[in-house]
Structure 1
């Protein structure tokens, strides 16, 4: 367990460093396309530093906003708050901020950069469809992500993907609207052409790389969180029953997207619900192990 926490901390800082480098390269390319020279490079490095810092400090807020999560009122959602408080006392974790996503599909995710700045969001469908023991198992699974520092890695990856795609789009726009674009037509391929090509590569290849990255990080992490949840609750049937209900439910999360799919307890993309219908390529890009495999692993405990 401690090895997993250490790896996740190192991965988080590696993500921040990688994000800084790629953001700096994107900004340098944009500055080069506008012919700004050395001052432009300095500005690019400054922008990259600010972006990397914001991605670290505000990553949880961005993920919650993307998912349209709202704070969970402690009176209206008393059972939700009570279960989390009990699990936190038992596991020695600080209580995270609690949110609700108003969606009929049963699902949940955790976000944040560390246990002291964590948040858990559950859908209204999850609160309605699971009984107390099942809900406790799901919440323990999310708290396991918090304890294992999975949340920092998965939340940062969401922000990185969105920012890189945005920078790629800006590079394309700057290449098209550059004041030197008219002159570059007569002079042949120049900075604007390079900038446009760079933007296209980021927009097309960025999501593909991000999806492979999510796949590499997510599958083993979900299984470990399942085992950690059982360690917290000491009652495997609770989480098993919850996962069986999630598998049987065909409602799709309206707030789900490919950028945040790896954060949820069950992948919220409709095409991945029935693993028997998946091609080998779809399975390769699935961010979660099939629910059948997770249930079978828990039954062996």
Structure 2
């Protein structure tokens, strides 16, 4: 169901983009808009991973690192039947992580020093498994495309608003102006809906990769608590990357609000608890990342 919903939302994003192009220049404007979108997506498709990693000052982690992080990523990836992604470390006290890359063969997982310092080994394994799920599901590519579409729609709408759009639009002047103003808002809402849908799916698949849903549930709770108190200054300066993180690194959205890029953490934990019950894992009250089920780090 998650994939169907994502496909429908992507179709809505494309239709919205074409509609803004049509308002700007009729049928030819819609075609031009599509060409522009294709060019922008091609550029971000090939360069987004390097751009994001550079933006967050991420440095590569080599095999044999003192945390055992590279070995953990490699073992979990191999257990999931995936290529081993590149591993990066970000210097910030806020515990968090994200995945990037256009395909499983060209992917990277980045974690913060705060994550390694504040979470147990099992909790870190749950987080890594979640990010590997994003890679296996091609979510990193999907979110790159949707973010590009959202930015392009906002750009076209501003351009149309500045130049007045089509004077003979069947929507009339008021309708055209409303469309130009509301299109970027609608695009942002669709992008956020896609992001939230993919988070639930990555939680579910990630729980299977690490072998215990409660490791990830415990990690989400601890990350949310710390992220609400600890700033991630680079993320605050680049809010367009917030949807990539396992927990929103910004301090604006704590609930399932309309503009939140992430589902409510309590809802994600509840879903993982239900999954743990289905898998036969005992839910330990107050456990700090030590689930009862056996996984690769048990």
Query: Normalising by the residue count of structure 1, what TM-score does the alignment of the two structures yield?
Result: 0.70
Contact 1:96 / 1:119 at 8 angstroms: preserved in 2? Answer: yes
Matched, 1:71 2:52: no
Q: In structure 2, what is the equivalent of residue 270 of structure 1?
A: 251
Question: Is residue 96 of structure 1 aligned with residue 99 of structure 2?
Answer: no
After superposition, the Cα gap between the structure-2 partners of 1:98 and 1:6, relative to the gap in structure 1 and judged at 3 Å, is farther
- Check if 1:213 corresponds to 2:186: no
Question: Which residue among 216, 221, 224 is the counterpart of 1:244?
Answer: 221
- Alpha-carbon contact 2:99-2:135 (below 8 Å) kept: yes
In 1, Cα distance between equivalents of 2:205 and 2:38: 36
* Residue of structure 2 in register with 1:184 after alignment: none
List alignment gaps of at least 5 residues for structure 1: 33-37, 176-188, 190-197, 276-281
Q: What's the TM-score, normalizing by structure 2?
A: 0.70
Structure 2 CA distance for partners of 1:18 and 1:98, relative to 1, 3 Å:
farther
SS of match in other structure, 1:243:
helix
Judge conservation of contact 1:63–1:158 (CA < 8 Å) in 2: no
Contact 1:62–1:159, Cα closer than 8 Å, also in 2: no
Q: 1:294 aligns with which of 265, 268, 274?
A: 268
Using the alignment, how far apart are the partners of 2:273 and 2:11 within structure 1? 36
Alpha-carbon distance in 2 for matches of 1:90, 1:141: 14
1:214 Cα shift? Answer: 2.6
Unaligned runs of 5+ in 2: 168-175, 277-298
Flag the structure with higher helix content: 1
Q: Secondary structure at the match of 2:257?
A: helix
Which protein is bigger by CA-based radius of gyration?
1
Distance 1:19 1:259, change over 3 A: farther
Q: 1:5 to 1:290 in 2, by over 3 A?
A: closer
| Contact 2:94/2:112 (8 A) holds in 1 | yes
Matched residue, 1:131: 120
Distance 2:195 2:31 in 1: 36
Alignment partner, residue 227 of structure 1: 204
C-alpha spacing 1:127/1:166, structure 2 compared with 1 (3 Å): farther
- The aligned length equals 264
CA distance in 2 between partners of 1:41 and 1:299 (Å): 46
| 2:45 alignment partner in structure 1 | 56
Q: 1:123 Cα deviation (Å)?
A: 2.0
Written as runs of structure 1 = structure 2, the 5 A alignment for 1:33-44 is: none
How far apart are the structure 2 equivalents of 1:64 and 1:226? 23
* Contact in 2 for aligned 1:141/1:226 (Cα 8 Å): yes
| Aligned-residue RMSD, C-alpha | 3.9
Superposed displacement of residue 243, structure 1? 1.4
Q: Quick one: structure 1 residues 103 and 246, their matched pair in 2 at CA, closer, same or farther if it must change by over 3 Å? A: same
- For the 8 Å contact 2:223–2:247, the answer to whether it is kept is yes
- Residue 11 of structure 1, CA deviation: 6.8
